[in-house]
Copies of this chain bind each other. A is one copy, B any other.
Amino acid sequence: MSFAPWRSHLSRALHRNRSQPYSRYLQLATVDTQGLPANRTVVFRGFLEDSNQLQFITDARSNKIAHIKAKPWAEICWYFTKSREQFRLFGKLVLVTAADLEPALQLARQQAWQKLSDSTRLQFSWPKPGEERVTNPEAFSPPQPSAKEPIINFCLLLLTPEKVDHLELRGEPQNRCLYLLQKDQTWSTQSINP
């Protein structure tokens, strides 16, 4: 597998903005089961090894699970505040749950879990997200789950980009480049008007 041509630009953006922890935060848009747009912030967890797939994590109890199962397409919008550039990545999502039988994906899910902080792992044992607030504070201090084996609520989410739109606001006047995945799995690259 070869790196897609937009990978070097994204790596450079991550490097240039590395002083800001939120440079790994981006917005993931999906379509809900009624065909309406949904949008939320997620954290980039690196690329799946030997692939161009971006990794995210999510709770099996969150609303976006139903959206993804009904329509596994997403566009992420990633704005880097320091270098003033935006990446829009459109593609297909794959959800890796505890029930996934593919060994390579199950291993990736396990490794993603192991890389989390204790406090992030704990959140997957909190009361069900989006429901009426549980007022007992002890509900948010459950026993610390194992750092080795992911709990059932933990899902890995993979995005395979097919279209990448990179806009640099600092260009003169601005630079914008469109990358499209071709049927033969190579990428086209085209400069477009900002």
Listed in ascending order, the chain A residues whose CB lies under 8 Å from chain B are: 20, 22, 25, 27-31, 35-41, 71, 73-77, 79, 81, 86, 88, 90, 123, 126-134, 137, 140, 173, 176, 178, 190-194
Contacts and interface: CB of A to CB of B under 8 A. Distances in A.
A78 to B, nearest CB: 9
Given A35-B71, A126-B193, A27 B131 contact: no
- Protomer copies: 2
A36 B31 contact: yes
Contact of A40 (B88, B127, B192): B88
Most B CB contacts (10 A, CB to CB) among A40, A130, A132 go to A40
Given A81-B22, A127-B193, A29 B37 contact: yes
Contact of A37 (B25, B74, B176, B178): B74
Nearest to A82: B22
Given A27-B77, A29-B27, A129 B194 contact: yes
Given A40-B86, A133-B190, 10 more contacts: A27-B79, A29-B75, A29-B77, A30-B37, A36-B90, A38-B90, A41-B77, A126-B193, A128-B193, A129-B192
